[in-house]
């Protein structure tokens, strides 16, 4: 962590702690392990969870190897889906091997730590031999430099922002370490103004899009995966230098379909305790659809969102689809 960013963080932290004596009681869920919703703190202007910021120096200094693969996404873009597809391709569809451990152990989340701070993504990565598959939600400018110096391949998955914000809203309702989501209207406003964890969706998708030809970035879309998973799994396999037989391809598509992953305890985050994921609020594997946003946006919100979207994306026309 740069010194001034760390000072930034420490000042924020002490202010937040003293100011939140009363409010902490309100946001504290009263769980036995003391799990509480955390505030966000900026690193280079990007709001990140307190736990991420605490370990930032280690994230920045992380040493990637040439053979490592980075799976980068804005939250709720289909990260887990992409991870599962990659793991199946690399393990030639061997179901036993792909169920060797939960997603977060097989393909650690670079910048994330457990609420007690003991189990950081980087701690897991340090004891894994390359080639490692690494998850990140970091915008491109915060990705540790070693990934680019080593020339690592990156798979970036983007999802249309309306479904992303809906998915993120339900996730923040259930993930008791995330800031309180507030009402849907408040949440949508925070999304549009880049105040949620990992910052602006608009800047995130544009950052990787603009660099995709300068770096080894395969840029894929959630909507394309839904529309034609066979075509997209072939693209991912080719990017990884793997050839799949027709039967292997069909098997991988089947094992990584929403219905299969939802039932797979090694891919559905059911190993995360209820004290962290409050499953009475929502599920991690919630719907897995394109267009669920239509059940959340009213006409007024949709019009305002469209106007804002067109304005912010005018300088970078990424072919994002809101329906398939
Ligand atoms: S996270 O927490 O940011 O890593 O979440 P992420 O994995 O990026 O996104 C979770 C959403 O992806 C959906 N999902 C899938 N959709 C279709 N097919 C498959 N196989 C699949 N796997 C995960 C998951 O249901 C979340 O979306 P919503 O809309 O909330 O259902």
Tell me if 286 CB under 6 Å of ligand 1.
Answer: yes
Q: Which atom of ligand 1 is nearest to the CA of 289?
A: 29
Residue 166, phi then psi, degrees to nearest 5: -65, -45
* Token pair 């030809």: residue: 213
Looking at residue 74, the DSSP 8-state letter turns out to be S
> Is 91's pLDDT higher than 90?
yes
- Ligand 1 pocket, mutate which of 288, 289, 291, 294 (most atoms under 8 A from CB): 288
> Is 2's pLDDT higher than 70?
no
Q: Where are the domains of the chain?
A: 51-312
What is the signed CA dihedral for 107, 6, 35, 270, rounded to 10 degrees? Answer: -10
Protein residue whose Cα sits closest to atom 27 of ligand 1? 288
> Is 24's pLDDT higher than 50?
no
Tell me if 292 CB under 6 Å of ligand 1.
Answer: yes
Q: Give domain 51-312's CATH architecture.
A: 3-Layer(aba) Sandwich (3.40)
Q: Which atom of ligand 1 is nearest to the CA of 285?
A: 25
Residues for the chain: how many in total? 324
- How many C-beta atoms surround the C-beta of residue 33 within 10 A? 11
> Is 17's pLDDT higher than 70?
no
- Ligand 1 pocket, mutate which of 71, 73, 76, 252 (most atoms under 8 A from CB): 76
Of the residues 12, 88, 137, 296, only one is catalytic, namely 137
> Is 9's pLDDT higher than 90?
no
Tell me if 76 CB under 6 Å of ligand 1.
Answer: yes
DSSP 129-145: PSS-EEEE---GGGS-H
Q: Which atom of ligand 1 is nearest to the CA of 163?
A: 29
Q: What is the pLDDT of residue 202?
A: 98
Ligand 1: centre distance to CA 81 (Å): 6
Q: What is the pLDDT of residue 35?
A: 54
Burial class (CB in 10 A: 0-12, 13-18, 19+), 259: exposed
Query: Secondary structure of 188-200 in the HEC alphabet?
Result: HHHHHCCCCCCCC
Ligand 1: centre distance to CA 14 (Å): 35
Tell me if 198 CB under 6 Å of ligand 1.
Answer: no
Task: Establish whether 204 is a catalytic residue.
Answer: no
What is the C-alpha separation between 47 and 34, in angstroms, rounded? 23
Protein residue whose Cα sits closest to atom 5 of ligand 1? 76
Residue 134, phi then psi, degrees to nearest 5: -120, 130
Protein residue whose Cα sits closest to atom 18 of ligand 1? 258
Looking at residue 78, the DSSP 8-state letter turns out to be S
Q: What is the pLDDT of residues 252-305, one digit of tens each?
A: 999 999 999 999 999 999 999 999 999 999 999 999 999 999 999 999 999 999
Tell me if 170 CB under 6 Å of ligand 1.
Answer: yes
Task: At 196, list the tokens.
Answer: 């949620």
Q: Which atom of ligand 1 is nearest to the CA of 83?
A: 7
Q: What is the pLDDT of residues 228-253, one digit of tens each?
A: 999 999 999 999 999 999 999 999 99
In sequence order, what are the residues at sequence separation of 6 or more whose Cβ sits closer than 8 angstroms to the Cβ of residue 129? Answer: none
- Are 292 and 179 in contact, with CB atoms under 8 Å apart? no
Tell me if 81 CB under 6 Å of ligand 1.
Answer: yes
Question: How far is CA 47 from each of CA 26, 40, 80, 281, rounded to the nearest angstrom?
Answer: 22, 5, 22, 24
Chain mean pLDDT for the chain: 90
- How many C-beta atoms surround the C-beta of residue 312 within 10 A? 17
Ligand 1: centre distance to CA 262 (Å): 10
Q: What is the pLDDT of residue 36?
A: 84
Q: What is the pLDDT of residues 109-134, one digit of tens each?
A: 999 998 788 889 999 999 999 999 99
Of 59, 53, 61, the C-alpha closest to 12 is 53
Kindly report which listed range (23-27, 95-99, 142-146, 207-211) carries the lowest average pLDDT score: 23-27
pTM over the 0.85 mark: yes
What is the C-alpha separation between 119 and 105, in angstroms, rounded? 10
Ligand 1: centre distance to CA 225 (Å): 12
Ligand 1: centre distance to CA 18 (Å): 36
In sequence order, what are the residues at sequence separation of 6 or more whose Cβ sits closer than 8 angstroms to the Cβ of residue 234? Answer: 244, 249
């Amino acid at each position: 962590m740069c010194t001034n960013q760390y000072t930034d963080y420490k000042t924020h932290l002490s202010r937040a702690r003293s100011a939140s004596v009363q409010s902490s009681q309100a946001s504290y869920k009263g769980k036995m392990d003391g799990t509480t919703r955390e505030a966000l703190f900026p690193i280079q202007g990007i709001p990140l969870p307190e736990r991420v910021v605490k370990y930032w120096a280690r994230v920045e200094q992380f040493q990637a190897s040439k053979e490592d693969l980075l799976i980068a996404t804005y939250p709720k873009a289909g990260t887990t889906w992409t991870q599962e597809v990659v793991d199946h391709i690399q393990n030639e569809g061997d179901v036993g091997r792909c169920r060797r451990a939960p997603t977060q152990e097989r393909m650690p989340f670079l910048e994330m730590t457990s609420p007690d701070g003991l189990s950081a993504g980087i701690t897991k990565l340090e004891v894994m031999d390359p080639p490692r598959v690494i998850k990140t939600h970091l915008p491109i400018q915060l990705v540790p430099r070693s990934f680019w110096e080593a020339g690592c391949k990156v798979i970036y998955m983007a999802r249309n922002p309306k479904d992303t914000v809906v998915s993120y809203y339900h996730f923040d309702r259930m993930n008791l370490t995330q800031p309180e989501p507030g009402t849907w209207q408040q949440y949508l406003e925070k999304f549009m103004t880049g105040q949620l964890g990992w910052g602006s969706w608009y800047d995130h998708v544009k950052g990787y899009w603009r660099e995709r030809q300068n770096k080894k970035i395969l840029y894929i879309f959630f909507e394309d995966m839904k529309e034609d998973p066979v075509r997209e799994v072939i693209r991912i396999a080719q990017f990884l230098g793997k050839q799949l037989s027709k039967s292997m391809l069909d098997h991988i598509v089947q094992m990584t379909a929403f219905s299969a992953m939802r039932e797979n305890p090694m891919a559905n985050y059911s190993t995360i305790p209820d004290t962290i994921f409050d499953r009475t609020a929502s599920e991690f594997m919630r719907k897995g659809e394109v267009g669920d946003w239509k059940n959340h946006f009213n006409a007024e919100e949709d019009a305002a969102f469209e106007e804002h979207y067109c304005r912010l994306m005018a300088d970078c026309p990424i072919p994002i689809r809101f329906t398939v």
